[in-house]
Amino acid sequence: MKVKHKVFSNLYQDSVSLMQISAQISALPGIQQASVVMGTSTNLEQLRDAGLGDDVKAGPNDLVIAVMGEDDICAEALDIAEHKLTNKPEEEGDDGIKAPDLVSIEMALEKDPDANLALISVPGDYAAAEAIKALNLGLNVMIFSDNVSIEQEKAIKILARERHRLVMGPDCGTAIINGIPLGFANVVNRGHIGVVGASGTGIQEVTCRIDQLGAGISQALGTGGHDLSEDIGGISMLSGLQSLAEDEATHVIVLISKPPSPAVAERILQLAQSAGKPVVVNFLGADPQTVTRPNVTAATTLASAADLAVALLNKRALSETKSQPSQQALNALQQASQRLSPTRQAIRGVFAGGTFCYEAQLICQQHGFTAASNTPVSGNHKLTSIWQSHSHTLIDMGDDDFTRGKPHPMIDPTLRNQRLLAELNDPQTAVALFDLVLGYGASEAPAAELLEQLARIDPRQAPLLIAHVCGTENDPQQRSRQVSALQEAGIIIADCNAQAAQWASIVAQIQIQKKGASA
């Protein structure tokens, strides 16, 4: 295998575009791996770790294409990537380097004085400076960029609070503002439920389920994953909550996060209690009794957060997603498990969404199953090697350990699909659990790409597969089309991530009973 790279001086592209190009050239026959990134020190280190660039010389304003594969195909991949980076779309019929019309936030604001939001997707070393410029110009800010220090994030958010502006991020991958999906978001109905979340896939799950239940979203605001830490203090969530409390179009509010520190949680819950509107709070894994108070309803899963919000909106009696599966579901799982050997005992989860992996670990724990993970929840343990599962294992394939020098699995599911195939070939695996995340920026045909891999498996010898599809009918991939393709291949489809994890746990319990009976 050859490794080749090409560097373009002072050529910037946003990270979503770069990940999409990486995915396209990675799919070429003969390419083992490929990466298209800005030349920041972090990215260059990740290229070295991935074996793609020990000798790459580039600065943070430079763009790097690096490929590994067969010699001729590497050259072809470099040419394809260069064409996509430096040429206008073919339909414009005008070759040549495309110069941007606007090269600063100031120029953009002069052209459109009514703009009130800046979306920042630049190398992390520069994101803080651009965010501060935008705030000083009176704009709200969404920071898609990651690798922004905690100190910089706090400074940005304190300035935003002083300016009475909202900051989403850093590392905010999902938002819906005035009906416009930003980042990895889905096409959902407009409506009267507002969401503030410290998790991109958490926001996607809740907004999609609200859409499926016939309601809609007023605004969905991301905070970035560090916002509810003690260091940051929940500044963005507090600001977003206050904004939705004052928004006439928002009648019910949903808050989503992993459990904050007790002091931060108390500040958020006090504001929620006084919001003047019903607030549903899902602090994943938190004791509902520590959350519930007047005007605040605790949800124990992402799906139940959506269910409760819709019930409150429609002034119906509150009921969470059923904690116990229906008898029909139990019978179906029992029947499907009959063909499994008693030696198959393990739950294997392979996720593109980090919050889905987190929630699934909690659900499996509730059913008595301690698991290993590269991102373990409290009570679970960290994998010795992220490349080797053992016993019950649930993996977040979107974690940095897997995405260094590679596209995120929501954009290019190749690595995730390969890992899922490996779990299916493991004789210990009883049930393989996975997610399929749709929406803007995600793979155009995720089910088709997965089924190509699964065609290599004899279904009579394989473990059970249980999936959850996060998306809507109006997404580019159309949820029902993806669900039908998976079901035709014999994959069991759950209504939500929590239900999928519950069903996987039930299969594991059936296998334990089967092994005991055969002993």
Which CATH number fits the domain that encloses residue 61?
A: 3.30.1360.30
pTM, full prediction: 0.85
Say if residue 269 is in the same domain as residue 183.
yes
Q: What pLDDT score does 519 carry?
A: 61
User: Side chain identity at 58, as an amino acid letter?
Assistant: A
Q: What are the two backbone dihedrals, phi and then psi, of residue 365, each rounded to the nearest 5 degrees?
A: -60, -40
Boundary residue ending a domain (86, 120, 144): 86
Say if residue 331 is in the same domain as residue 452.
yes
Say if residue 495 is in the same domain as residue 356.
yes
Say if residue 350 is in the same domain as residue 288.
no
Range of 15's domain? Answer: 2-86
Per-10-residue mean pLDDT for the chain, 519 residues long? 88 76 87 86 81 85 90 91 74 46 85 93 87 96 91 97 96 94 95 97 98 98 95 97 97 95 95 97 94 96 97 87 76 93 96 96 97 96 94 94 79 90 95 96 91 84 95 97 96 96 97 82
* Domain contains 145: no
Burial call 354-389: b when 16+ CB within 10 Å, e when fewer: bbbbbbbbbbbbeeebebbbbbbbeebeebeebeeb
Q: What pLDDT score does 192 carry?
A: 98
Domain count, the chain: 3
Kindly tell me the sign of the dihedral angle through the C-alpha atoms of 181, 186, 192, 196: negative
Boundary residue ending a domain (260, 287, 314): 314
* Domain contains 156: no
Say if residue 331 is in the same domain as residue 272.
no
* Domain contains 195: yes
Measure the CA–CA gap between 303 and 78, rounded to whole angstroms.
Answer: 43
Say if residue 305 is in the same domain as residue 343.
no
Boundary residue ending a domain (293, 314, 335): 314
- Which helix (H) or strand (E) segment holds residue 142: the answer is strand 140-143
Q: What pLDDT score does 94 carry?
A: 46
* Domain contains 491: yes
Q: What pLDDT score does 91 carry?
A: 44
Say if residue 255 is in the same domain as residue 355.
no
Say if residue 249 is in the same domain as residue 338.
no
Say if residue 414 is in the same domain as residue 449.
yes
Kindly tell me the sign of the dihedral angle through the C-alpha atoms of 459, 360, 207, 329: positive
Q: What pLDDT score does 96 carry?
A: 44
* Domain contains 251: yes
Q: What is the CATH number of the domain that holds 238?
A: 3.40.50.261
DSSP state of 427: T
* Domain contains 503: yes
Q: What are the two backbone dihedrals, phi and then psi, of residue 442, each rounded to the nearest 5 degrees?
A: -85, 165
Say if residue 445 is in the same domain as residue 344.
yes
Say if residue 300 is in the same domain as residue 336.
no
* Domain contains 372: yes
- Which helix (H) or strand (E) segment holds residue 252: the answer is strand 252-257
Angle at 143 between CA 141 and CA 144, to 5 degrees: 140
Say if residue 395 is in the same domain as residue 474.
yes
* Domain contains 157: no
